[in-house]
Amino acid sequence: MEEARAEAEAVMFGALDSLFEKTGVKPDDIGILIVNCSLFNPSPSLSAMIVSHYKLRTDIMSYNLGGMGCSAGLISIDLAKNLLQANPNMYAVVVSTENITLNWYFGNDRSMLLCNCIFRMGGATVLLSNKSRDKVRSKYELVHLVRTHKGADDKHYNCVYQREDENGTVGVSLARELMVVAGEALKTNITTLGPLVLPLTEQFKFLVTLVPKKILKAKVKPYIPDFKLAFEHFCVHAGGRAVLDEIQKKLKLTDWHMEPSRMTLHRFGNTSSSSLWYELAYTEAKGRVSGGDRVWQIAFGSGFKCNSAVWKALRSTPMNETGGNPWKGEIDKYPVKVPVA
């Protein structure tokens, strides 16, 4: 437990120190704190650890989300958005992390050993503001956030499941149906997201194939909208190579669009809910983000959940703006050729 706490402190405090230094915001300025970590939930909570370390104010709205999987980062963003809408002139900080120390699997169940291979320590912090004066220096504006929860279906609910193996050793089991489940969750999610972001031409093409299928029960291959017309950048949760391959195939994305996700998986592994921010940091470090660009973050998590966040870049991010960027000093080495099994 002591080592797990030390890991959590190193990740969270390191990310927060960088955030405060980069933005000039002081800990006393924070009115909302949201921490999400799926598998490590001590008492006092991780959010309480932050309050204690930075001596945050006594009226802070503090939340700690646990057990919500790799998609919890966007759930935290959604919670922060709702709280900021109800509380004017305030800063909110979201801390997304995962803890490895207490969650290593020491058994022999293959479905549970996979987590040892892909999950790694990581964390990220995000500062959100509803203060009008911050618009001139903010990087992004949150445009849409769409959440999908397929937990009513047993196949989806049991797909990623923490349990004991036959010897009583605790671990997280990943079902063989994971790719199918992720695909179905994504399909449901983009059905809601599509009308919000796609141009009318793409919506019309989708409708033309949907009507015969739903009303006439005809066997018509569904039209997959071209989301490249709606977004310049894609940050797909780096859950594993198979997940990225499936999403690239489903959405017909290019290798360039998938590069941030694949390089994040290669360099940092699956850092759970924080992986989306490593991917966005990669895009920024490459100098690819220009003012007006649209970014689509896609997160998958146990439950089973698929969440989407759409951000609009309010300004360009130059390559030399690397304060707090995990790719600083090594971005020129990427992309690299990733071995294929």
- Kindly write down the DSSP assignment for every residue of 9-24, as one continuous string: HHHHHHHHHHHHHHH-
| DSSP summary character for residue 119 | B
Q: Are strands 30-37 and 91-98 parallel, antiparallel or unpaired?
A: parallel
Say yes or no: 150 and 269 in one domain: yes
Residue 326 lies in a domain: no
Residue 335 lies in a domain: no
**Rounded-to-integer distance, Cα 178 and Cα 126, Å:** 29
pLDDT for 214 equals: 63
E-strand ranges in the chain read: 30-37, 61-66, 91-98, 122-129, 140-149, 160-164, 170-174, 233-236, 294-301, 305-313
What is the CATH number for 54?
3.40.47.10
Say yes or no: 132 and 147 in one domain: no
Q: Is 130 a catalytic residue?
A: no
Enter the tokens of residue 192.
């809601």
Q: Is 144 a catalytic residue?
A: no
Question: CB–CB of 283/234 below 8 Å?
Answer: no
Q: Is 122 helix (H, G, I), strand (E, B) or coil?
A: strand
Residues 36, 64, 233, 235: which is the catalytic one?
233
Low-confidence stretches of the chain (pLDDT beneath 50): none
Q: Which residue type does 318 have?
A: P
Q: Is 53 a catalytic residue?
A: no
Q: Which residue type does 16 have?
A: L
Q: Is 233 a catalytic residue?
A: yes
Q: Is 70 a catalytic residue?
A: yes
Q: Is 257 a catalytic residue?
A: no
Enter the tokens of residue 227.
């989301």
Residues 70, 115, 159, 235: which is the catalytic one?
70
Residues 36, 37, 115, 149: which is the catalytic one?
149
Say yes or no: 169 and 249 in one domain: yes
Radius of gyration of the chain from Cα atoms? 20
Provide CB contacts within 8 A for 117, sequence distance 6+. Answer: none
Strand partners, 233: 295
Residues 64, 103, 237, 257: which is the catalytic one?
237
Say yes or no: 121 and 196 in one domain: no
Q: To which H or E segment does residue 300 belong?
A: strand 294-301
Residues 99, 189, 270, 307: which is the catalytic one?
270
**Rounded-to-integer distance, Cα 253 and Cα 262, Å:** 13
pLDDT for 232 equals: 97
Enter the tokens of residue 10.
């190193």
Say yes or no: 243 and 162 in one domain: yes
Say yes or no: 194 and 240 in one domain: yes
Q: pTM here? A: 0.93
Say yes or no: 274 and 145 in one domain: yes
Say yes or no: 82 and 173 in one domain: no
pLDDT for 90 equals: 97
Number of domains composing the chain: 2
Place of tokens 């800063």: 91
In degrees rounded to 5, what are phi and psi of residue 23? Answer: -90, -20
Question: CB–CB of 319/91 below 8 Å?
Answer: no
Say yes or no: 122 and 267 in one domain: no
Residue 301 lies in a domain: yes
Say yes or no: 166 and 63 in one domain: no
Instruction: Identify the domain containing residue 258 by its residue range.
Output: 140-314
- Kindly write down the DSSP assignment for every residue of 38-65, as one continuous string: SS---SS-HHHHHHHHHT--TT-EEEEE
Say yes or no: 97 and 158 in one domain: no
pLDDT for 198 equals: 92
Enter the tokens of residue 169.
């050793």
- Residue 288, classified by CB atoms within 10 Å of its CB into exposed (0-12), middle (13-18) or buried (19+), is middle
pLDDT tens figures, 277-323: 999 999 999 999 999 999 999 999 999 999 999 999 999 998 877 77
Say yes or no: 120 and 146 in one domain: no
